[in-house]
Amino acid sequence: MEQIYCDYNATTPIHPIVKERMISLMDTFGNPASIHGIGQEAERVLVESKEVIAEFLNCSPENLIFTSGGTESNNTVLFQLLAEKISNKPERKLICSEIEHSSISEYSTFLKKSGIEVVYIPVDPQGFVNLEELQKEITKNSLVSIIWANNEIGTIQNIEKISEIVKDAGAELHVDATQALGKVAIDLSSLHIHWLTATAHKIYGPRGIGLLYRRAYTRFAPMLIGGGQQEDQRAGTENHLLMAGFAEAINQRKVEMAEESIRLRSLKTKLINEIISRFEFAQINGPIDERGLAGTINVTFHGVENEMLLLYLDMAGISISTGSACSSRTFKASRVLNAIGRSDLEAFSSVRISLGRESTETHVDRLVEKLSEIIGRIRKE
Active site residues: 326
Cite the beta strand spans of the chain per DSSP E: 4-5, 64-67, 93-97, 118-121, 142-147, 172-176, 195-199, 210-214, 282-285, 296-301, 318-319, 350-354
Convert 30-53 into a string of H (helix), E (strand) and C (coil). CCCCCCCHHHHHHHHHHHHHHHHH
- How many CB atoms within 10 Å of residue 12? 22
CA–CA gap between residue 279 and residue 296 (Å, rounded): 19
Dihedral sign (CA 249, 250, 255, 258): positive
Q: Rounded to 5 degrees, what are φ and ψ at 144?
A: -100, 125
User: CB neighbours (10 Å) of residue 207?
Assistant: 16
Determine the Cα–Cα distance for residues 364 and 354; give it in Å rounded to an integer: 11
Residue type, 210: G
Sequence letter at residue 296: T
Rounded alpha-carbon distances, angstroms, from residue 152 to 10, 179, 340: 10, 10, 12
Return d(Cα 47, Cα 140) in angstroms, integer.
35
Is residue 61 within 8 Å of 200, Cβ to Cβ?
A: no
